[in-house]
Chain A
Amino acid sequence: MSRIGQTFIALKAHNRKALIPFITAGDPGKGLTVPLMHVLVEAGADIIELGVPFSDPMADGPVIQRASERALANKVGLKDVLAMTAEFRKTNTTTPVVLMGYANPVERMGYEAFAQAAKAAGVDGVLTVDIPPEESTGVSDVFKAHGLDPIFLLSPTTPESRVEQVAAAAGGFIYYVSLKGVTGSANLDTEEVAQKLAMVRKHCSLPVGVGFGIRDAATAEAVARIADAVVVGSRIVNEIETAPEGECTNRVKHLVAELRRGVDAASK
């Protein structure tokens, strides 16, 4: 079983929900990503989502767009992200790492070559935002063959008839996007999400993570009550962007610890 699968089983045994923070690799600096990953774990992350910078992040709002631009200015590409993961693995062999990004950098490297390199670096799952199951032939099967979990999205606009198809292609967990819109959007309606998740679970046995619109302990708690995992991206990236120099890791640690308390409050 994959490291992601094991993580969810262990959490379930303790009646806990997963916290999955997101950071963009290379933001704010090339040398800060691995220390930040360790800080995320210390503060309570169960799985780390590591953003692969891309020049045209179509599905992202301004906060993560700017993170991508900073990372690209620091000359961080897919190969560097793999090297960072390998570096992280030298001292952490238990926390799953999911790469999240867009198709083209992976396409350029080649799906087979990427899958080999990612597995060797210690990557556990891959979410390519702009590869839906319809286009994943030759992608998700290659990932699976190398022991990488292909993570797919579901959204409020996904019709029930599609959920099974998405679930069949997916591995690790399903990422339910709680809002229509780009990353960093506001106003999460947990009532509506809960209804949608009930429908999703009828067709999908994988754990379901929920992201978009989670910004503090209260929203993390509300989502943890209905989902298996809570994904937080823009709020953390915003903290990185606004932190004074030298304060970045401290601020992130503080924020993720707060989110952790929110997630755990849901299990009490």
Chain B
Amino acid sequence: MKLIDLPDSRGHFGSYGGVFVAETLMAALDELRVEYEKARNDPAFVAEFEYELKHYVGRPSPVYHARRLSEAYGGAQIYLKREDLNHTGAHKINNTIGQALLARRMGKKRVIAETGAGQHGVASATVAARYGMECVVYMGAEDVARQSPNVFRMKLLGATVVPVSSGSKTLKDALNEAMRDWVTNVESTFYILGTAAGPHPYPMLVRDFQCVIGRECLVQMPELTGRQPDAVIACVGGGSNAIGIFHPYIPHENVRLIGVEAGGSGVASGKHAAPLTAGTPGVLHGFRSYLMQDENGQIIETHSVSAGLDYPGVGPEHSYLKDVGRAEYVAINDDEALAAFHDLCRYEGIIPALESSHAVAHAKKLAPTLGKDQIILVNLSGRGDKDINTVAKVSGITL
């Protein structure tokens, strides 16, 4: 099978992906798979999705030549795909609209979601309000504390936010709890999964909804620069913004695809969230992929200044792209991401999400190694308003 045509009919990307869930969810996942197949081939569904992206989200999002940043970094020209300008401030809304339309099509009136930084929670609460659905968002208790503006946003939008205090109290535990809700209320509830991970068909359908990012770039880059970029860089937590911009570029073999994981305090310190860089394959949350785990197969706690990247697994397609060598994966530490955050604020007047700052930080390393006529496209997946408390705190400032 060609890389671009994966996954296979049972959701496998090579040995990754699949459907590793308890029996109670099997029928629901099968129903979702069948319904999604119908929807993606239904012109009315596709047209409504595109209409919503244009008129509600504000797509296409622009590509912007960051001239002052490029000059400061001293090498390649850096272009930013401005997903931060979407309604709700990140790429997450592309996926939640797609899934909410699926939920409506399937007659489900209640949606649930997990969230780390709160961006997916906000995007889910937003579409639930937009389409008149009940919404419950599970969020790690630690993330509730460090992302309080997003918690309030979700509440304003009418969602119920449930803090999760089990395990490490972060994204993975929120995902466990959302799965538990789903297994209990499976007939009435649609689970809006936030990233290109989880059991099949989620990695595929989330990717498909996010691919609008890369498809727009394929048109915008030649318009702006006369050609496609030399490298595309995106941050990778679960990996939905990255796969959304990478996937349409897979057949363009001269374009390097570089995913940036959260290096936390440094990969050598063990305090990070970089399974592709320093993990091993395993099974978690319904799929096989690279994971952060110990020698007994227990999932280990992750560390990152960015709540949205603080996840021990990664979408299965990234694991496959790594193994076959079509994409490269690197890790950026907290301090490097914070420096890039400030760079973008000062040079371009853009406050980026801490997640996206990891991608900018890698551009900072890569740009000087390339010529001034070379082009780096960075997916600026979200805006940083939600992170100002975190940045203030690490800078020793009380707001």
Contacts and interface: CB of A to CB of B under 8 A. Distances in A.
Interface of A: 53-59, 61-62, 65, 69, 72, 77-79, 102-109, 129-132, 134-135, 152-159, 162, 166, 177, 180-182, 185
B186 A78 contact: no
Interface in B18-52: 18-28
A188 to B, nearest CB: 14
A4 B296 CA distance: 27
A103 B22 contact: no
Contacts, number: 126
Nearest to A185: B184
A118 to B, nearest CB: 14
B299 A56 contact: yes
Interface in B299-356: 299-300
B240 to A, nearest CB: 20
Nearest to B20: A130
Interface of B: 10, 18-28, 166-167, 172-173, 176, 179-180, 183-187, 280, 282-286, 288, 291, 293, 295-300
B24 A105 contact: no
Contacts of A131: 20, 283
A180 B23 CA distance: 10
Contact of A135 (B20, B25, B187, B295): B20
Contacts of A61: 180
A132 B283 contact: no
10 contacts: A55-B298, A56-B284, A58-B285, A59-B22, A69-B167, A103-B20, A132-B19, A132-B20, A135-B20, A157-B25
Contact of B26 (A57, A58, A65, A158): A158
Contacts of A57: 176
Contacts of B187: 157, 180
B22 A104 contact: no
A135 B25 CA distance: 14
B136 to A, nearest CB: 15
Given A55-B298, A181-B184, A182-B183, A158 B284 contact: no
A130 B295 contact: no
Contacts of B172: 56
Contacts of B22: 58-59, 129-130, 132, 153, 155, 177
A108 B288 CA distance: 12
A58 B297 CA distance: 15
Contact of B296 (A79, A103, A132, A159): A79
A108 B23 contact: no
**10 tightest A-B contacts by CB?**
A108-B297, A77-B296, A105-B297, A181-B184, A153-B23, A103-B283, A155-B24, A59-B22, A55-B298, A104-B297
A36 B198 CA distance: 36
Given A58-B179, A181-B183, A185-B184, A154 B23 contact: yes
Nearest to A157: B27
Given A59-B183, A158-B26, A134 B10 contact: yes
Contact of B166 (A65, A129, A156): A65
Nearest to A153: B23
